[in-house]
Amino acid sequence: MATHAEALSKARLGGFSRVATARVDDAADAIGRIFCPHDLKPVDRSEAHFYALHNCAAFDGFSVNYVAYGGSVSIDPGCLDGFFLLQIPLTGSASIRTAAREVEAAPARIASLLSPTIPTQMTWHDSCAKLILLLDRKLVEQRAAALAGRSVHPIEFDPEVHLAGSLGERLQAQIKQLVTLAEGLGPNRSLPAIAAAEWRETCLDALLDGQHHSLSSAIDVFKGRAETQPAVLRRARAYLEARAAEPLDVVELAEAAGSGIRALQIGFRRHFGTTITDMLLDIRLAQLNTRLKAARPDERIIDIAFDLGFTHLSRMASAYRVKFGESPKATFRRLS
C-alpha cells in the first residue's frame, strides 16, 4: 500500500496542489470546500494508512482534478447540486451507489459519472487515485437544451462509463491531454478562452451524444437521428442547421428536403413536435449560446446575434432567457 510520500511523488497536476494531509477532518473540510460538503471516514481499519491529496486545475466552467486517498474511505456527498463529476480511476477501485444503480469502478475498465440531482455514496478501496473532471451543472444542462430543442431542464446520466468502449477511450484521451496541457502551462498561466471553449464543447458533445441520459431520446429526435424519422425530415433538419444564419425560405427548404411544403410542415409537427420556424429559432439560439461561450471580451453580443440571423434583439433576448435560464449577457460575462 502506497505511503503518503510515495503518493505525492506519483500524483498528476503536482503544481496545482490544493490539499495534502494525513488528517481526516482536515481533508473532509478542505476537499468539501472545493467540491461540496461530505462525510469522509476511513473504513476496513485503514486509519493508519490514511492520507488525502487533491490537485486541481480550474478553467471556465470546468476543472480537471487528481484526487487520491490512502487506505480505504467512505465518502457520502449526498446530492452534488452544482456540478457533474466524471471519475476515472487510476489505481485501486471504488464502489459507487446512487439512487439509480451501483457501479464498481476500476482502472481501464469502468469509470463513474455522477449527476447533481442523484444522491451518491462511495467507497474508495486500496489507496484509490482518480482523475476527475468537474463540469458546471448549468454548462451541461444548457448544452443538452441546445441539442434537444428544449428549455434548460435537469439531466441525469447513466452513472457507469465503460472505459474500454469508444466513448470511454475518447474521454480518457481527452482528459489525459488536458492534464498534460495544464501541467505544461503551470498554475500561473491560463488556457486561452477559445481553446477552453473548444475543449468544453467537444467534451460535452461526447458525453451527451455517447453516454445514455434522461434527454438522449429527445436529442436523437431533434437532431434527426431517430430510426423512425423519415429521411426527408432529416435532410430538412440538416439544411436548417447548415443555413441557420440565412433568412428562412420554405420553398428552398422543401426542395432541398425533397418534399412539398405542406407535407414538410406536417412532418415537423408530427416527428419533431415543433414548427419549422420554431426549430430554426432553437437552432439559432443554440448557436448563439455556443458563440457567446467562445467569444472574446472585445466582441459584442449584438454583432454575434446579427451574424446568426437575429434581427429583433429584444425578442432574441427573451427567447434565450426562456431556453437557457439566463440572459445572453449573463452567459457572455460568465464564460467569455
Domain ranges for the chain: 4-215, 217-335
> What is the residue-level pLDDT of the chain in tens, covering all 336 positions?
667 777 777 899 999 999 999 999 999 999 999 999 999 999 988 888 999 999 999 998 899 999 999 999 999 999 999 999 999 999 999 999 998 789 999 999 999 999 999 999 999 999 999 999 999 999 999 999 999 999 999 999 999 999 999 999 999 999 999 999 999 999 999 888 888 888 988 999 999 999 999 999 999 888 877 767 788 998 999 999 999 999 999 999 999 999 999 999 999 998 888 999 999 999 999 999 999 988 888 899 999 999 999 989 999 999 999 999 999 999 998 776
Instruction: Tell me the C-alpha distance between 1 and 50, whole Å.
Output: 11
pLDDT value at residue 297: 85
Tallying the residues shown for the chain, one arrives at 336
Task: For residue 43, give Cα distances in angstroms to 70, 106, 109.
Answer: 11, 19, 24
Instruction: Tell me the C-alpha distance between 69 and 207, whole Å.
Output: 27
Instruction: Tell me the C-alpha distance between 285 and 331, whole Å.
Output: 12
Do 63 and 93 touch, CB atoms closer than 8 A? no
Block residue for cell numbers 444548457: 142
pLDDT value at residue 336: 63
Instruction: Tell me the C-alpha distance between 300 and 306, whole Å.
Output: 10
Helix (H, G, I), strand (E, B) or coil at 308: coil
Please give the CATH architecture assigned to the domain spanning 4-215: Sandwich (2.60)
Do 24 and 44 touch, CB atoms closer than 8 A? no
What does the DSSP 8-state code read for residue 293? H
CATH match for 217-335 among 3.40.1360.10, 1.50.10.10, 3.40.50.300, 1.10.10.60: 1.10.10.60
Beta strand spans in 163-256 (E): none
Do 82 and 136 touch, CB atoms closer than 8 A? yes
Task: For residue 98, give Cα distances in angstroms to 23, 77, 88, 108, 145.
Answer: 27, 11, 17, 21, 24
pLDDT value at residue 221: 86
In 3-state terms the chain splits into helix, strand, coil percentages (rounded to 5) of 45, 25, 30
Q: What's the half-sphere exposure (Cβ side, CA atoms, 13 Å) at 233? A: 27
- Partners of residue 75 on adjacent β-strands: 40, 122
Q: What's the half-sphere exposure (Cβ side, CA atoms, 13 Å) at 223? A: 16
pLDDT value at residue 44: 85
Do 303 and 245 touch, CB atoms closer than 8 A? no
Looking at the whole model, is its pTM more than 0.75?
Answer: yes
Block residue for cell numbers 452567459: 331
Do 305 and 328 touch, CB atoms closer than 8 A? yes
Q: Which residues contact 245 (CB under 8 A, 6 or more apart)?
A: 284, 287, 307, 308, 309
What does the DSSP 8-state code read for residue 247? P
Do 299 and 259 touch, CB atoms closer than 8 A? no
